[in-house]
């Protein structure tokens, strides 16, 4: 799939309305480190919640990723374990090599996943709405 973007869609994948609203209302910013550690299960180093422009840039390169080193491998015990660049969008990171993304594979809509230090992708929220709620609780 070729890289493409408009204001609501990156690489053919629509950004969730909750994310677009949070961005337009200046709510798409990292909370303090304690909250991030609780939500993501690991201590952040230099967290960044990407602007639309940063998402566009990161996902242009994301499509070219291959191999299990960064993409992970399926993990039935703690899904998903892996991520497919063609059905996901990187939306931020907690530091170097600590990205989090939207995974569009579930039929119910995109889940929010995080790449743990061991290289496995884990679901941290079943939806963007739930992630935003957890970050502000």
Structure tokens given for 84:
């497919």
Q: How many domains are contained in the chain?
A: 1
Is the model's pTM score more than 0.85?
yes
User: Is the residue at 78 inside a domain?
Assistant: yes
| Residue 32 domain boundaries | 9-136
User: Looking at residue 132, what is its pLDDT?
Assistant: 98
Average pLDDT over every residue of 114-125: 92
Q: Which residue has the tokens 């015990």?
A: 77
Instruction: Find the mean pLDDT for residues 39-66.
Output: 92
Which residues lie across from 50 on neighbouring strands? none
Instruction: Report residue 68: phi and psi, to 5°.
Output: -75, -15
Residue 4 within any structural domain of the chain? no
How crowded is residue 114: how many other Cβ atoms within 10 Å of its Cβ? Answer: 22
The pLDDT, as a whole number, for residue 110 is 97
What is the torsional sign of CA 106, 108, 110, 116? negative
């Amino acid at each position: 799939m070729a890289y493409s973007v408009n204001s609501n869609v990156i690489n053919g994948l629509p950004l969730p309305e909750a994310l677009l609203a949070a961005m337009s209302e200046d709510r798409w910013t990292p909370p303090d480190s304690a909250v991030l550690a609780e939500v993501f299960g690991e201590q952040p180093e230099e967290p960044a919640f990407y602007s639309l422009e940063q998402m566009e840039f990161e996902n242009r390169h994301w499509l070219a990723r291959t191999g299990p080193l960064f993409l992970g491998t399926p993990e039935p015990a703690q899904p998903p374990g892996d991520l497919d660049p063609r059905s996901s969008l990187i939306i931020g990171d907690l530091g170097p090599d600590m990205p989090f993304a939207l995974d569009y594979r579930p039929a119910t809509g995109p889940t929010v996943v995080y790449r743990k230090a061991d290289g496995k992708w884990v679901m941290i929220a079943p939806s963007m709405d739930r992630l935003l709620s957890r970050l502000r609780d």
